[in-house]
Structure 1
Amino acid sequence: MSWKTAFRSFYYETADEPDDIELPPAETALLVIDIQNTYIEPKDDPVEAKRWAPFLDRMRDVVIPNTAALQSWARENGVEVLHARIACQTEDGRDRSLSQKKPGFNYLLLPKDREDSQIVPAVGPVGDEIVVTKSTDSVLTGTNLRLILHNMGIRNVIVAGIFTDQCISSSVRSLADESFNVVVVEDCCAAATDALHRHELEVINMIYCHVASAEEVKGFLVR
């Protein structure tokens, strides 16, 4: 199924197909969000390990290799590669946003220099590629990424990373609100379950972004 007809929510199930996407390299960035060591560590508890096994399989077999390949493609074609990660500046995390201090899955204590807060090496920065550090879901909130993108003349942002229904969704909505054209790469993203992943893509598609595969994204580049 083409990106023009896939991931349609109720709001857009009868809408016309969108126009072709054109991404000039000099105006386009690939932004990879939160693919960090902490999220691919195996679970100690057997029950949790079983629950998270499909997510970890998707990360290992789909998201990380596809994202690494897309980064290589971007570098070869003059598309800026940017990185974002969750980390706090303090050891006790007192600088974190409220959502990261609450009990449960979203409780995140990731001091910036600790190993589990680092980006997975396979998709890490190369050379002088920019890494922004956030203590929020949205990559624009609490970072200077907005200024960086404007300074670089970026108008189009290709988004990859995790989690589709959390930091990806929040970041995409913020970017759209700032009038960036956003493309989310379906097979370079993951949520805890495939159902959550697909549902969120339907929610954000055609309102805040367009959702496409990595191979389709490569066809959007124009010279």
Structure 2
Amino acid sequence: MKPNPKYLSFYYQTMTEFPDIELDPKKTALLIIDMQNEFVRRDMGEALQFKEMGEWERWIPFHDRLDNVTIPACKKMLDYFRANNMYVTYGRIACLLDNGEDRCAVQKSEGWNGMLLPVNSVNAAMIDELAPQDNEIVVNKTTDSVVTGTNYVRLMQNMGIETIVVCGIVTDQCVASTIRDLADNDFKIICVEDGCAAADQELHDAELKIMNVIYCNVLSSDETIEVIEKNRK
């Protein structure tokens, strides 16, 4: 499948031939990152903070993309993986201590990355539309990357996973950090473009352009399903 030229960086603009994506569906897992009440819902968490700060108008396009594009694409991937008895996994921001002292320095900082989400809080839970079911792995992180500070890589290696399909938020932070770490740990990665979102479209597009081909394959949800189906034996 030829990459979308929109997401080809300087390094790959002169390439004319791209190898087909090969994977084993039985060794492929879905990873949904940070689609939590705190960040996604308009009636709690960060949305309320933005409204109090008078910044809500600036964030409406992000939430519109979540509601109209990202959540439906994540749900499409989730339904597909479940229907085909493929592995579903989650990574979410959640600290084990109520005071958050187990968080990394970035999450203790002031500004966008500063957040306190105790593991059993409603805010830390995945949104209802994408809630995990029994026998689906959820790892809690106090870092941006799902890999750093968790046993996610070890779990995937134990299960024989070779390819990870990534959805979630935000594209240029937790999603990008996770994809780079997974690539460095020898996994093949598909980043589902419509299943991700950043604070604005420019950041989203720029990060996908940087990561595509070298760290992952950037595909739409429909293209991802098409690739998996073509690789069924």
Which TM-score band applies after superposition, normalised by the shorter structure? over 0.9
- Give me the TM-score of the superposition, normalised by structure 1: 0.96
**Alignment correspondent of 1:53:** 60
Secondary structure at the aligned position of 2:31 is classed as strand
**Alignment correspondent of 1:34:** 34
CA RMSD, 1 decimal: 1.4
Assess if the C-alpha contact under 8 Å between 1:88 and 1:109 holds in 2: yes
The percentage of counterpart residues that share the same residue type is: 43
- 1:1-223, aligned counterparts within 5 Å? 3=3, 5-40=5-40, 41=42, 42-43=47-48, 44-45=51-52, 47-221=54-228, 222-223=231-232
How many residues of Structure 1 are paired with residues of Structure 2 in the alignment?
223
Assess if the C-alpha contact under 8 Å between 1:4 and 1:18 holds in 2: no
CA separation of 1:6/1:77 partners in 2, compared to 1, >3 Å: closer, same or farther? farther
Secondary structure at the aligned position of 2:55 is classed as helix
- Given residue 68 of structure 1, which amino acid in structure 2 is its aligned partner? K
Unaligned runs of 5+ in 2: none
Secondary structure at the aligned position of 1:116 is classed as coil
**Hey, what's the Cα distance between the residues in 2 that align with 1:75 and 1:103?**
39
C-alpha deviation, 1:65, in angstroms: 1.3
Assess if the C-alpha contact under 8 Å between 2:189 and 2:216 holds in 1: yes
- Give me the TM-score of the superposition, normalised by structure 2: 0.92
C-alpha deviation, 1:46, in angstroms: 6.7
Unaligned runs of 5+ in 1: none
Assess if the C-alpha contact under 8 Å between 1:3 and 1:213 holds in 2: no
Secondary structure at the aligned position of 1:117 is classed as coil
C-alpha deviation, 1:20, in angstroms: 1.3
Assess if the C-alpha contact under 8 Å between 1:4 and 1:17 holds in 2: no
Secondary structure at the aligned position of 2:54 is classed as helix
